[in-house]
């Protein structure tokens, strides 16, 4: 008797959508960021800066109704340059390495361009962020201790990131 292969049911995975963050996303973002970074999470200096700054924009990635990625931009100045501070960025562990992190970073860069800013600042891993054009920013002075090798700048205009980094409203 010939065996009959069971029909394979295609599992439908909803497409991932990147949307502007809304107030209703906050709880899911907190949970995602906690899972990604753990309770000891961020360098204190970056967190203090975010606490003092206004949220300029945020992007949330959804698979169906499930929030699987997030990134935020905070209003700052670097010396005389109007800028945004990027972070935290997190993608749910099971959704990583598919390019979603890159899509979220690119959404931030496009947003900063739309806003007419000098550039985007962050504290992060150079091997990850250099692929988007972020370069070392040795003369951007954050308001607290930080590993200066991780301070990076994505230039949008020809302004150099020199001087104190301050939260802006
Ligand atoms: C960083 C993060 C957002 C990337 O999300 P993602 O959807 O996997 O990103 P992408 O698919 O665009 O890129 C994945 C690639 O980046 C690499 N990568 C991820 N984090 C990295 C890091 N900190 N340093 C260097 N490379 C890194 C991965 O190894 C992978 O490499 P591959 O393309 O050779 O396989 C995700 O790994 C995450 O949430 N990490 C925990 C939170 C965190 O550390 N955030 C800040 C990073 S400084």
Written as tens digits, the pLDDT of the chain (169 aa) is 455 665 555 667 789 999 999 999 999 999 999 999 987 766 689 999 999 999 999 999 999 999 999 999 999 999 999 999 999 999 999 999 999 999 999 999 999 999 999 999 999 999 999 999 999 999 999 999 999 999 999 999 999 999 999 999 8
Ligand 1 pocket test target in 16, 33, 40, 101 with most atoms within 8 Å of CB: 101
pTM exceeds 0.75 = yes
Atom of ligand 1 nearest to the CA of 105: 12
CB 145 within 8 A of CB 68: no
The two three-digit tokens of residue 127, written as one number: 């091997």
Task: Report the CATH number at residue 129.
Answer: 3.40.630.30
Answer yes or no: is 2 within a domain: no
Domain that holds residue 129: 16-167
pLDDT at 1: 46
Is the residue at 5 inside a domain?
Answer: no
Domain tally for the chain?
A: 1
Q: Tell me whether residue 9 is in a domain.
A: no
Give the angle 134-57-102 at the CA atoms, nearest 5°: 40
Q: Is residue 39 part of a domain?
A: yes
**87 touches 72 (CB < 8 A):** yes
| The predicted structure's pLDDT at residue 19 | 98
Name the residue of 37, 86, 128, 154 to mutate for ligand 1: max ligand atoms within 8 A of Cβ: 128
Q: Tell me: cis bond preceding 88? Omega within 30 of 0 counts.
A: yes
Q: 71 lies in a domain?
A: yes
Residue 64 within any structural domain of the chain: yes
State the pLDDT at residue 51.
94
Q: Which residues line ligand 1 (CB under 6 A)?
A: 36-37, 89-91, 96-102, 124-125, 127-128
């Amino acid at each position: 008797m010939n065996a009959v292969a069971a029909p394979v049911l295609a599992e439908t995975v909803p497409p991932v959508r990147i949307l502007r963050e809304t107030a209703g996303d906050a709880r899911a973002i907190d949970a995602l960021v906690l899972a990604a970074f753990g309770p000891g999470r961020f360098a204190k200096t970056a967190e203090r800066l975010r606490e003092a700054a206004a949220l300029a924009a945020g992007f949330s990635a959804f698979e169906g109704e499930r929030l699987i990625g997030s990134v935020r931009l905070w209003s700052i100045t670097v010396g005389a340059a109007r800028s945004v501070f990027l972070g935290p960025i997190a993608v749910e562990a099971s959704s990583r390495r598919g390019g979603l992190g890159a899509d979220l970073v690119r959404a931030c860069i496009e947003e900063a361009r739309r806003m007419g800013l000098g550039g985007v600042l962050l504290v992060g891993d150079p091997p990850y962020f250099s692929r988007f054009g972020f370069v070392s920013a040795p003369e951007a002075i954050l308001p607290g201790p930080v590993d200066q090798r991780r301070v990076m700048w994505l230039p949008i205009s020809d302004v150099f990131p020199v001087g104190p980094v301050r939260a802006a409203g």
